[in-house]
Structure 1
Amino acid sequence: MTTVAIPIRLLAGVLALSCLILAPPAARADKVNQSLLGGVAIEGTDPVAYFTESRPVEGSSDFSVEWNGAEWHFASAENRALFEADPEKYAPAYGGYCAWAVSQGKTAGIDPEAWKIVDDRLYLNYNESVQSTWEEDIPGNIRKADENWPVIEKDL
């Protein structure tokens, strides 16, 4: 019986470890939505560029900073400096998780192309279709997400 128990325990441990490694970003213990490989926030997109260029711009690891448990990439040293001076201003709402999903009490990844700045806050969504749904009631969805986020964040 001991010889059977050891392989079962080993199998259980391997399965548990693989669930942690292969878990989608929303299920990992991160406060910031990060890419599965590399721990980069918002898919490597420069969060400052949404504000300064009104569009998503790919960041570079040459201009990166660690903040809130994630690596953030920027298109320039200037954007990195702006972020370092006031990260809360530029970081997306809800840790960079999909704003609509958070309004529904869940988390989901994002598409950097599905974004909107509302009242000087960056909101990201899973994709453009989900963003259209979120935009049907932006104030209501932000209100619901603001209520849900503390509970969701605590469980991440």
Structure 2
Amino acid sequence: MKHFITFLVLIISTTFFAQEFNTKKGYVAEGYDVVAYFSHKAVPGEKKFTTTFKDVKFKFSSKENLETFKKSPNKFIPQYGGFCAYAIGAKGEKVSINPKTFEIRDGKLYLFYNSWGTNTLELWQNEGAEELQKKADKNWKKILKSKS
């Protein structure tokens, strides 16, 4: 019976916590304010404005943004756990991001890799963002499924 209960708890926890997040530097979006992105600004968060949601930490640049997030957190969470949207779409791979490189598309936040002369936001836009987004949605489901 003890093993059955342990197994059941494991199944339930992986079902509800299967989503993975890119928490480089200890925070989602490398500590940038996920609410500020929706004002088309990449703003680093401050430690004094921190919260935890879905077992990961988020930083905000102001108390107002922290409170806005708390009211509707799912609205502000980056797509694909905060990994590079282009890499998820093009290759199904989790790649780090540059928190200053982002796009708001259809009311959702997408983050991108931008370093060493490669700006994946530009690739995303030039290669067809809509099609890459569809591929990324499918690939992300596969990634999450493989972790559960």
Check whether TM > 0.5.
yes
Alignment counterpart, residue 102 of structure 1, candidates 63, 67, 88: 88
Q: Supply the distance in 2 between the matched residues of 1:121 and 1:64 (Cα, whole angstroms).
A: 21
Task: Give the C-alpha shift of residue 149 in structure 1.
Answer: 0.6
Q: Indicate whether 1:138 and 2:129 are aligned.
A: yes
Can you list the C-alpha shifts for 1:124-147, whole angstroms capped at 9, x where unaligned? 011161111111211001000011
Q: Supply the distance in 2 between the matched residues of 1:135 and 1:125 (Cα, whole angstroms).
A: 11
| Matched residue, 1:129 | 119
Tell which structure's C-alpha radius of gyration is larger: 1
Task: Give the C-alpha shift of residue 69 in structure 1.
Answer: 2.2
Any stretches of 5+ residues in structure 1 without a counterpart? 1-28
| Matched residue, 1:65 | 51
Contact 1:63 1:74 in 2 (8 A): yes
Q: How many residues align?
A: 125
Alpha-carbon RMSD across the aligned residues, in angstroms, is: 1.6
| Matched residue, 2:23 | 34
Q: Supply the distance in 1 between the matched residues of 2:71 and 2:124 (Cα, whole angstroms).
A: 30
Q: TM-score, normalised by structure 2?
A: 0.79
**Structure 1 segments of 4+ aligned residues over 2 angstroms from their partners:** 153-156
Matched residues, percent identical? 36
Contact 1:32 1:69 in 2 (8 A): no
The one-letter code sitting in structure 2 at the alignment partner of 1:34 is T
Q: Supply the distance in 2 between the matched residues of 1:43 and 1:155 (Cα, whole angstroms).
A: 25
Q: TM-score, normalised by structure 1?
A: 0.75
